[in-house]
Amino acid sequence: MSSSGKILGGVVVLWLVLIALLHATLNLHLFEPKQSGTNAPFRVGFIPVTCHLTCPVTDFINKQMKGKSEFEPIRFQGFPELKEAFISGYLPATFILAPMAMRLREDGVPIKIVYLGHRDGSAMVVHRESLIYRIEDLRGKKIAVPSRFANQRLLVVKALKEHGVPLDSVQIVELAPPDMPAALYSRSVDAITSGEPFMGQAEMEGYGRVLYLTKDVWPNFISCVLAVREDAIRNNRAMVQRLIDGISKSGKWLDEKMDHRMEAAEFVGQNYYNQNPELLRFVLSKPPDRVKYTNLLVRKNDFLEIEALAKETGVLKGKVTFADYADPSFVLSEESIEPYAWDYKK
Amino acid sequence: MKSKILFPIVVAILFLGLWDAVVIFSKTDIFPRPYQVFLGIVELVQRGLLLKYIVASLFRVSVGFVLAVLVGVPLGLLLGWFRPAFFALNPLIQIFRPISPIAWIPIAILWFHVDDRAPIFLIFLASVFPITVTAISAVQNIQPVYVRAAENFRLNQFDLFRRVIFPACLPQIITGLRIALGISWLVVVAAEMIAVNSGLGYLIIDARNAGKRYDLVVAGMLMIGVIGLMLDLLIRGLERFDEVRWGYSQRD
């Protein structure tokens, strides 16, 4: 090898070592002292929407109360990547769209719905200057939903049916929730519906107008659930139980008083969602029952309703039953859940 | 020499002015003006994110690209030299080559989960095929006189590769590397769409989450562009080595 070749090889190796060290220090934090209790953390997938709010709240409260959390929230940008990480076994637990979880079960993924993420907490928003004032006005319009497996889509179907609008008279398109406000602003779609805060964002910035809140069309609407892999339940039931306990306590804590929600808006917005706390405060309070984090036990009747709509729209084939995709045995009664006894200090 | 520095600066200023004017004229309150993007970059620096993200992206591109060179150059040289191997493998390479790395994202997550390996894999895929293909064609177009001379010296196969074929192909290979490095930097945004939590691509994706932060989206684009330019200048430096320069001087 020529001498300049050797020099070049040396430079390349040096660069690789240098950039790897920098990356390990700045991003992977490999050189920081490990937290005590070196058990691998239990990963929980989520997307920065209020439907998954109890995930970061549980993590944050655990860290504040005990100095560490045995759960590691992993943030995704959209449902396809989250679903793939769950299928591959990387995530033993995740927040996920209810119909998507049911469909994964049909496709043979060992998934169990163990708790609900929230109730209500969604809206349909149209452009402020549009002439859509009633659900009937959606005829001939383009509506964006987060996924064909989203309950928001089933909700649209339900609402249209109840108002006598044929489903084939509207165009339903899939769009990632973070892209929805911009799509509505540019009027490339006529209506958007997904989890918050993206609906609230369009409303707060002035170009969006709420056509309906989910609570008004489908009371106690469920869009996302907490789901766990069966092998995690089998091999590590105690951990799964602790996760669900934490999630349910966080829910109670959030609904205990408005102050808690405002605090959550701040620490979640800054540390987990990278969203403006002002926006999260807006969607968590206007109105206060826009989204709810109590009454989240897994109940058969709720899911039968989702199942029926999902079958009707071709999302589910109807091969699986409640007993296949759900395991309600972790929380037996609403009364057994105590809110976290914790106060936020800045 | 003056025009080499002055002209680009004038064009850059004109471009920024035009950008600003278009934003003001169109009355959009979504698309940021240049100074807002500048403030966005300042904010990223203050929060300590810019360096972190640049390092993360450079790390992934460096590892993915170097792996692609280590695989692509020897593979290309061998396939270029041994005809039967070329006939056997070339169709496969030509099938894989046009598949966009974005199409590999679902599979990358299944295989490598969502840590650094997945984006590195995608960057590797994006750059390995251009490198292999240029190396193949470099060998196939080698001037027969070099090979005949080598045969007269009775070089064995290994020395033939090391002392004749590789140096003769180097100028073309470097051109291939330059293109491939550009592509791998191009792919970094898509590769970081996977749930990694750092990198310039991630910065852009994350800014979409953050509501109306299009200043950060454009700031990310700008940083990707500027670093891409520096990478290209760097790899162009390779063309000045004596081992390579002869290949270009013929064209002058």
Mean pLDDT for B18-32 is 87
Query: If pLDDT is split at 50, 70 and 90, which confidence band does B64 have?
Result: very high
Query: Would you call A209 exposed, middle or buried from its count of C-beta atoms within 10 A (0-12, 13-18, 19+)?
Result: middle
Position B88 pLDDT exceeds 90: yes
User: Chain B residue with minimal CA distance to A181?
Assistant: B211
| Short-list A269, A19, A273, A274, CA closest to B44 | A274
Position A37 pLDDT exceeds 60: no
Q: Which of A8, A90, A275 is opposite residue B209, by nearest beta carbon?
A: A275
Q: Which helix (H) or strand (E) holds A116?
A: strand A111-116
Rounded to an integer, what distance in angstroms lies between the CA atom of residue A337 and that of residue A249? 6
The percentage of residues in chain A with a pLDDT greater than 70, rounded to a whole number, is 97
Q: What is the pLDDT of residue B142?
A: 85
Phi, psi of A210 (to 5 degrees): -75, 125
Q: Which of A20, A76, A274 is opposite residue B210, by nearest beta carbon?
A: A274
Strand order in the sheet with A122-127: A171-174, A142-145, A191-195, A122-127, A208-213
pLDDT tens per residue across span B111-140: 887 788 889 999 999 999 999 999 999 999
Q: What is the pLDDT of residue A314?
A: 83
pLDDT tens per residue across span A207-216: 899 998 887 8
pLDDT tens per residue across span B146-200: 878 877 887 787 888 888 888 888 888 988 999 999 999 988 878 887 767 788 9
| Short-list A74, A207, A109, A98, CA closest to A146 | A98
How close B13 gets to chain A, by Cα (Å)? 29
The 8 Å CB, 24+ separation contacts for A135-138 are A135/A159, A135/A160, A135/A162, A135/A163, A135/A165, A135/A211, A135/A212, A136/A163, A136/A164, A136/A165, A138/A165, A138/A170, A138/A190, A138/A191, A138/A211
> What's the farthest any 2 CA atoms get from each other in chain B?
74
Test B55 with A179 for CB contact under 8 angstroms: no
Q: Which two tokens stand for residue A73?
A: 């929230």
Test B105 with A74 for CB contact under 8 angstroms: no
Query: Would you call B145 exposed, middle or buried from its count of C-beta atoms within 10 A (0-12, 13-18, 19+)?
Result: exposed
Q: What is the pLDDT of residue A295?
A: 84
Rounded to an integer, what distance in angstroms lies between the CA atom of residue A160 and that of residue A138? 8
Mean pLDDT for A139-160 is 88
How close A313 gets to chain B, by Cα (Å)? 26
**Angle between helix A98-106 and helix A79-87 axes, rounded to 10 deg:** 40
Q: What is the pLDDT of residue A60?
A: 85
* Cβ-Cβ contacts under 8 Å, A23 against chain B: 55-56, 59, 116
Chain B residues at the A interface, defined by Cβ less than 8 Å, are: 30, 51-52, 55-56, 58-59, 62-63, 66, 105-106, 109-111, 113-114, 116, 193-195, 197-198, 205-206, 208-212, 238, 241-243
Q: What is the pLDDT of residue A6?
A: 80
**Any idea of the CA torsion for A323, A327, A333, A334, to the nearest 10 degrees?**
-110
Test B114 with A74 for CB contact under 8 angstroms: yes
Mean pLDDT for B27-39 is 86
Position A312 pLDDT exceeds 50: yes
Query: If pLDDT is split at 50, 70 and 90, which confidence band does B252 have?
Result: very low
**ipTM of the modeled complex:** 0.80
How close A227 gets to chain B, by Cα (Å)? 18
β-strands A291-292, A119-120 pairing: antiparallel
Mean pLDDT for A186-209 is 89
pLDDT tens per residue across span A234-290: 988 888 898 888 888 888 888 888 888 898 888 888 888 888 888 888 888 888 888
* Cβ-Cβ contacts under 8 Å, A275 against chain B: 209-211
Test B195 with A273 for CB contact under 8 angstroms: no
How close A143 gets to chain B, by Cα (Å)? 20
Query: If pLDDT is split at 50, 70 and 90, which confidence band does B250 have?
Result: low
Rounded to an integer, what distance in angstroms lies between the CA atom of residue A141 and that of residue A193? 13
Rounded to an integer, what distance in angstroms lies between the CA atom of residue B67 and that of residue B184? 12
From the centroid of its chain, how far is CA B214? Answer: 25
| Short-list A185, A225, A224, A208, CA closest to A123 | A208
Test A85 with B109 for CB contact under 8 angstroms: yes
* Cβ-Cβ contacts under 8 Å, A20 against chain B: 59, 63
Rounded to an integer, what distance in angstroms lies between the CA atom of residue A303 and that of residue A115? 12
Best probe of the A interface among B58, B109, B115, by most A CBs < 10 A, is B109
Position B68 pLDDT exceeds 90: yes
Test A90 with B206 for CB contact under 8 angstroms: no
How close B51 gets to chain A, by Cα (Å)? 9
DSSP state letters, B181-242: HHHHHHHHHHHTTSS-S-SHHHHHHHHHHTSS-HHHHHHHHHHHHHHHHHHHHHHHHGGGSH
Rounded to an integer, what distance in angstroms lies between the CA atom of residue B100 and that of residue A212? 40
Sign of CA dihedral A59, A61, A67, A70: negative
| Short-list A147, A146, A142, CA closest to A189 | A142
Question: Before A197, cis peptide (omega within 30)?
Answer: yes
Strand order in the sheet with A224-229: A71-75, A42-46, A93-97, A224-229, A111-116
Q: What is the pLDDT of residue A2?
A: 65
One-letter amino acid at A86 equals F
Collapsed DSSP state (helix, strand, coil) of residue A346: coil
Rounded to an integer, what distance in angstroms lies between the CA atom of residue B60 and that of residue B125? 12
For residues A114 and A227, the answer to whether their CB atoms sit within 8 Å is: yes
Q: Which two tokens stand for residue B143?
A: 């001037």
Mean pLDDT for A15-28 is 88
The percentage of residues in chain A with a pLDDT greater than 90, rounded to a whole number, is 12
Total residues belonging to chain B: 252
Q: Which two tokens stand for residue B195?
A: 């749930």
Mean pLDDT for A290-314 is 86
Test A16 with B63 for CB contact under 8 angstroms: yes
For residues B228 and B61, the answer to whether their CB atoms sit within 8 Å is: no
* Cβ-Cβ contacts under 8 Å, A74 against chain B: 114, 195
How would you write A178-239 as a 3-class SS string? HHHHHHHHCCCCCEEEEECCHHHHHHHCCCEEEEEEHHHHCCCCCCEEEEEEHHHHHHCHHH
Q: Which of A20, A205, A273 is opposite residue B212, by nearest beta carbon?
A: A205
| Short-list A53, A209, A212, CA closest to A119 | A53
DSSP state of A78: S
Position B66 pLDDT exceeds 70: yes
* Cβ-Cβ contacts under 8 Å, B109 against chain A: 81, 84-85, 88, 90
Q: What is the pLDDT of residue B246?
A: 66
For residues B142 and B86, the answer to whether their CB atoms sit within 8 Å is: no
Test A27 with B114 for CB contact under 8 angstroms: no
| Short-list B31, B30, B50, CA closest to B41 | B50
Best probe of the A interface among B114, B159, B241, by most A CBs < 10 A, is B114
Test A26 with B209 for CB contact under 8 angstroms: no
